[in-house]
């Protein structure tokens, strides 16, 4: 009886381990990027996916802006996190002053807040952009940021 009980307990404890999943690694070379479309960006921008929306419809990309490059005005239905990983850039909320973002900074844009972000006129910037999609949409693009507005 003790042997049957011990065997049953051992099998019960081992079952979760047999069904356990394992970690998944996606190397940088497997996440090929693309040049940002002029439909959404001004200047030279490189966009590389970091992770897709397997978890709660959240996705992220590493975005590098060369000097003078920036996004168009846009909003996000749930908001957006920018984690600046290198360089110095600018961001602006419509109706407010342009602000500086540096490596190590984290910028939060609440849901539906119209904004743009990109490099300064003299230095590139790279950031992770993290956003959630609602009904398959994570961003609504607007007009380009004019050279005049960018320079202010």
pLDDT at 13 over 60: no
- Distance, CA of 69 to CA of 150 (rounded, Å): 10
* pLDDT the model gives residue 111: 97
Question: Is 54 a domain residue?
Answer: yes
Domain count, the chain: 1
**DSSP code for 73:** S
* pLDDT the model gives residue 114: 98
pLDDT band for position 15 (cuts 50, 70, 90): low
pLDDT at 18 over 60: no
Question: What is the extent of the structural domain holding 55?
Answer: 33-151
- Determine contact, residues 40/110, Cβ cutoff 8 Å: no
Question: Is 109 a domain residue?
Answer: yes
* pLDDT the model gives residue 34: 84
User: Of residues 97 and 59, which shows the higher confidence score?
Assistant: 97
- Determine contact, residues 51/133, Cβ cutoff 8 Å: no
Place of tokens 């709660």: 56
99: Cβ contacts below 8 Å, ≥ 6 apart: 90, 91, 92
Question: Is 8 a domain residue?
Answer: no
What is the CATH number for 146? 2.60.120.10
Question: Is 62 a domain residue?
Answer: yes
Question: Is 100 a domain residue?
Answer: yes
Question: Is 41 a domain residue?
Answer: yes
Question: Is 7 a domain residue?
Answer: no
HSE value, Cβ hemisphere, 13 Å, CA-based, for 81: 12
Summarize pLDDT for 55-90 with one digit per residue, the tens. Answer: 678 888 999 999 999 999 999 999 999 999 999 999
Query: What is the SS3 string spanning 85-128?
Result: EEEEEEEEECCCCCEEEECCCEEEEECCCCEEEEECCCCCEEEE
Whole-model pTM? Answer: 0.80
Place of tokens 């957006």: 80
Question: Is 96 a domain residue?
Answer: yes
């Amino acid at each position: 009886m003790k042997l049957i009980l011990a065997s049953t307990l051992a099998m019960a404890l081992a079952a979760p381990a047999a069904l356990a999943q394992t970690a998944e690694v996606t190397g940088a070379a497997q996440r090929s990027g693309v040049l940002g479309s002029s439909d959404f960006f001004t200047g030279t921008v490189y966009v590389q996916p970091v992770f897709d929306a397997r978890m709660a419809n959240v996705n992220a990309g590493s975005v590098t802006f060369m000097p003078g490059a920036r996004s168009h005005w846009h909003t996000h239905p749930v908001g957006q996190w920018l984690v600046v990983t290198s360089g110095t850039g600018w961001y602006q909320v419509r109706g407010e002053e342009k602000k500086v973002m540096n490596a190590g900074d984290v910028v939060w844009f609440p849901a539906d807040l119209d904004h743009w972000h990109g490099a300064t006129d003299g230095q590139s910037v790279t950031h992770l952009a993290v956003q959630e999609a609602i009904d398959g949409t994570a961003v609504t693009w607007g007009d380009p940021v004019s050279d005049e507005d960018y320079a202010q």
